[in-house]
Amino acid sequence: MTYAPLQRTSAAPPVRIVHLGLGAFSRSHIAWYTAHAADAHAWGIAAYTGNSTALVDELRAQDGLYTLVTRSAESDLCEQIESVVRVHPGNDLTSLLADLAAPTTAVVTLTITEAGYRAGRDGGPDPDDPLVAADRIALSALSSHRDLASMDVRTALGRLVLGLAARGRAGGGPVALVSCDNLPDNGGLLRTCVLALAAVDPATAAWCAQNVSFVSSSVDRITPRIERDELTALQVMLQDRAPVVSEPFADWVLSGPFPAGRPRWESAGARFTDELEPWEARKLWLLNGAHTILATVGPLVGRDAVADAIAHPVCRRAVSAFWDEAQRHLPAGLEIAAYRRALLSRFENPRIRHPLSQIRVDTETKLRLRIVPVARLERACGRPADAAAFAVGAWAAGARTRGRREDTVAAIGRVAPDLADDAPFVAAVMRAVDQLASLTLV
């Protein structure tokens, strides 16, 4: 079966959302929820990539339209998504500043990945990051620049602050910033980083304090990068340059004010709460934590994709044991048992090929966010945190197989200095390293 060329079924909605970090996940999640909202006709998205132009060219050629292929274990559902109205490269400052300054813009969403926040150990902008340092210097001269688009600002959050300065100058009114990245208290982190960058210009800092809200959210939908051969086949079949493949499951929980309004995302299944932290921890520990375990243990037992890894008894036991540890620190009312069953079913889906190499990117940061908090909670309760230690040990063992020789204690110290001083935890990590090393020799 082949499909007709993509074509809008109705007039493009007006742009009221600006999205930073356009990629496959944002198109399977944020754009999907917006397209399914009861008032979708009133909420269009102007989307900005990182610095890539390839996706911009592909989507511009088809008016921002693309096909979302929702893939269950049995079949595919192909759906045209029409919520993205315009697409730009992230370095198109002229368009970005105009969109951020427009009074019609009410919401800015972000999927810039954990690394995109360029945060230091204290949770603010990393003072040792040369791009952050350069952006601070550039932004400190805001008050003397009439043409903000000519300023040399390169980080995602630096550009966002520049856009907020443009909005303040234009009288654009209040706006909500919504972080959709896999980070605990992502809205709080966004607030800290944005306000710290804005602080170098007093006028911008004062305007942001009065007019910008920061919304935290927990996002959940597995959306792997499509392998080249499959992408080519889908492009031909769907007559679509930029299709996206995802699982059927989708979840979005948000917390925070929207002073200029928002889409009725709840009509598409999103949830709004005054207490996001438990939902956030459930997802970050159980889904993302399991992904990190599979990505570190899987290669050591010869597995290279999620579905293959979860079928291996060593991987499955490691995930289940970590879930047991994490579950002890989650409150009642989160439907944990059902969520665990659903996660196993999602991981086992043989038609969603999620390469472990994709998940393994920036493992050190992911361990710090997804595994270490559970280890600390377990140790604080006097328990050994063996499952969390196994995950850290798998990372250390994997580094050894790739030729990186490093003392185990030093490796632990890079993700959690306090745990490197915890002798029982260190011993548990060393046991895991030895156990996994023996597996790789079998």
State the pLDDT at residue 3. Answer: 75
State the pLDDT at residue 146. Answer: 87
Q: Which fold has domain 278-441?
A: N-(1-d-carboxylethyl)-l-norvaline Dehydrogenase; domain 2 (1.10.1040)
Distance CA 335, CA 271 (A): 15
State the pLDDT at residue 407. Answer: 85
Largest interatomic CA distance in the chain: 67
Q: How far is CA 293 from the centre of its chain?
A: 17
Q: How far is CA 297 from the centre of its chain?
A: 22
Token pair for 287: 């889904």
Spell out the domain ranges in the chain.
15-274, 278-441
From residue 308, alpha-carbon distances to 301, 353, 401, 402 in Å are 10, 9, 20, 21
pLDDT beneath 70, residues of the chain: 1, 401-405, 440-442
State the pLDDT at residue 402. Answer: 61
Question: Counting beta carbons within 10 angstroms of the beta carbon of residue 435, is it exposed (0 to 12), middle (13 to 18) or buried (19 or more)?
Answer: middle
375 closest CA partner among 395, 356, 361, 354: 395
Q: Are 388 and 376 in contact (CB under 8 A)?
A: no
Distance CA 117, CA 129 (A): 11
Q: Which fold has domain 15-274?
A: Rossmann fold (3.40.50)
State the pLDDT at residue 66. Answer: 98
Task: Calculate ∠ Cα 181-97-124, nearest 5°.
Answer: 40
Q: Are 316 and 307 in contact (CB under 8 A)?
A: no
- State pTM to two decimals: 0.90
**Residue 11 Rama label (left phi>0; alpha psi -120 to 50; beta):** beta
Side-chain half-sphere of 187: how many Cα atoms within 13 Å? 23
State the pLDDT at residue 442. Answer: 47
**Residue 382 Rama label (left phi>0; alpha psi -120 to 50; beta):** left
Q: Are 200 and 224 in contact (CB under 8 A)?
A: no
In this structure, the number of other CB atoms found within 10 A of the CB of residue 30 comes to: 30
Q: Are 351 and 303 in contact (CB under 8 A)?
A: no
Distance CA 28, CA 341 (A): 23
State the pLDDT at residue 355. Answer: 93
Beta carbons within 8 Å of 404's beta carbon, 6+ residues apart: none
Question: Counting beta carbons within 10 angstroms of the beta carbon of residue 105, is it exposed (0 to 12), middle (13 to 18) or buried (19 or more)?
Answer: buried
